[in-house]
Amino acid sequence: MLPSISRPLRVAIIGAGPAGFYTAEVLFQSGVSLEVHMFEKLPAPFGLVRYGVAPDHQKIKNVIKVFEKTASDKRFFYFGNVTIGRDLSVQELKKFYDAAIFCYGAEADRQLGIKGEGLKGCYKASQFIGWYNGHPQFADEEFDFSHETAVVMGQGNVAIDIARILCSTKEELAKTDICQHALDMLAESKVKEVHIYGRRSVAHVAFTPVEIREMGNLQDCCPVVDPADLVLAPDSIKDLEELANAFRKKDIEILRSFTAMSQGGRKRKFFLHFNRSPVEIIGVSRVQKARFEINEQGKPSGKYEEIECGSFFTCIGYVGEPIEGLPFLPQKGIVPNLKGRILEGEVPVKGSYVCGWIAQGASGVIGTNKLRAQETIHSLMEDLALLPGCETPDTKEMLDLFKSRGVFAVTFIDWKKIDAYEVMMGSNLGKPREKLIRVGQMISVADGSYKQKGTLSS
């Protein structure tokens, strides 16, 4: 309890992804009497796990069971379909809560900053991943798979995910929770070659062994690697012996195994290119070619090469976006903070904290967020005596405010109705679930209105 009051501490968590749920879990383990209210701009929780993890990686999504256990705590309350900074300002939020922890992630794509990046056929990773994973923001995106060659820029797991989805057969994807509209369009894809490009050598790849190994196990796709790209410089050999680079050493072993693979009748090919920096995407009204500068010993050589392609996907990382009322560092794409305490200049903002990608940048795996949550909550616990206490510790008044603004706040019970509906629809299609891709559809299931209408909202 706060020193000055005799009620549980009221903590708001903004963002229902891994960082948000791990933060709630750590709060519940703190021993402090409290309530945790989680806000999410979409009706559905779980953020990156629901909308970022590839549909053919169902095991990774099992972490949702951990989050559901946290949500079952009687001290936990969920408010989906509420956007902080729009439906409720940051200042208004602070009226209702003693502390606010912002865990809303990094959703914007980094820009290449090269000519032609705005051409039709040039796609951001978030667009494509959001589209096939059923994110409402990207439900109406359009992709052209009529050309036989696609280029993917990036050397991380996101790039491999996109390449794998493009190279998978309909049969491989049909048993996943990929959205039906994406499955239908990908089934008609004419793409036969997917080329991944990276600026650095094979000794600096960021994808994991599990991800790259999968590319060699696809039914109708053969990986192609130039053996010359796997010849390592002496300093790279030394670096790969460090424990932190063990995964890269394994990556190279897998890539070497690819050089001995025969195509064996498989119709598609997956190519990896290293030491290539993009300089221009070429086309009149749409993507027709991509131009790269060849790097030698880590430096530009002044030599160039081009590849004809019909689509170009950028996968070079994500950055956060600002929320009105919060400090923000646009050059880094994060909220400035020290050990989770939000800073205005060099001064901590009382009762305001941050965790996850919006605090440190888009790096690490899902579990990394738990360690970051522990640091942020440690700071909050140290600050308990400094918290002034909120002006209006009244949830009903806040909900009345939402109602007056036409905001339907989705509870976790509402979400479970949506969840059950999606699982039922997926079962009819032989899939784990068929996601609802419109906010209106989710709301009509949550409030039961679809039963009276006989159909889902658009």
With beta carbons less than 8 A apart as the criterion, state whether 14 and 104 touch. Answer: yes
Residue 394, pLDDT above cutoff 60: yes
Residue 235, pLDDT above cutoff 80: yes
- The amino acid occupying position 188 is E
pLDDT digits (tens, 9 = 90+) for 113-132: 999 999 999 999 999 999 99
Residue 28, pLDDT above cutoff 60: yes
Residue 451 contacts by C-beta under 8 Å, 6 or more apart in sequence? none
Residue 452, pLDDT above cutoff 80: no
The predicted model scores a pTM of: 0.94
pLDDT digits (tens, 9 = 90+) for 280-313: 999 999 999 999 999 998 899 999 999 999 999 9
For residues 433 and 127, give the distance between their C-alpha atoms in angstroms, rounded to a whole number: 21
Residue 4, pLDDT above cutoff 60: no
| Residue-level pLDDT at 414 | 97
| Percent with pLDDT over 90 in the chain | 92
For residues 250 and 248, give the distance between their C-alpha atoms in angstroms, rounded to a whole number: 5
Q: What is the mean pLDDT of residues 342-362?
A: 95
| Residue-level pLDDT at 297 | 87
Residue 237, pLDDT above cutoff 70: yes
Counting every residue written for the chain, the total comes to: 458
For residues 224 and 232, give the distance between their C-alpha atoms in angstroms, rounded to a whole number: 18
For residues 65 and 49, give the distance between their C-alpha atoms in angstroms, rounded to a whole number: 11
For residues 340 and 356, give the distance between their C-alpha atoms in angstroms, rounded to a whole number: 9
Sheet containing 193-197: order of strands: 122-124, 311-314, 149-153, 193-197, 268-273, 221-225
Give the chain's domains with CATH numbers: 9-107+319-410 (3.40.50.720), 111-316 (3.50.50.60)
Residue 2, pLDDT above cutoff 60: no
pLDDT digits (tens, 9 = 90+) for 370-393: 999 999 999 999 999 999 889 999
pLDDT digits (tens, 9 = 90+) for 167-210: 999 999 999 999 999 999 999 999 999 999 999 999 999 999 99
Residue 331, pLDDT above cutoff 70: yes
Residue 451, pLDDT above cutoff 90: no
* pLDDT confidence tier of residue 450, bands split at 50, 70 and 90: confident
For the chain, give the mean pLDDT.
Answer: 95
Q: Bridge-partner residues for 269, per DSSP?
A: 193, 222
Cβ neighbourhood burial of 367 (10 Å; 0-12, 13-18, 19+) = exposed
Residue 393 contacts by C-beta under 8 Å, 6 or more apart in sequence? 7, 10, 96, 98
Tell me the C-alpha to C-alpha distance, in Å, between residue 130 and each of 139, 173, 303. 8, 16, 36
Cβ neighbourhood burial of 303 (10 Å; 0-12, 13-18, 19+) = exposed
Residue 236 contacts by C-beta under 8 Å, 6 or more apart in sequence? 201, 203
- The amino acid occupying position 455 is T
pLDDT digits (tens, 9 = 90+) for 51-104: 999 999 999 999 999 999 999 999 999 999 999 999 999 999 999 999 999 999
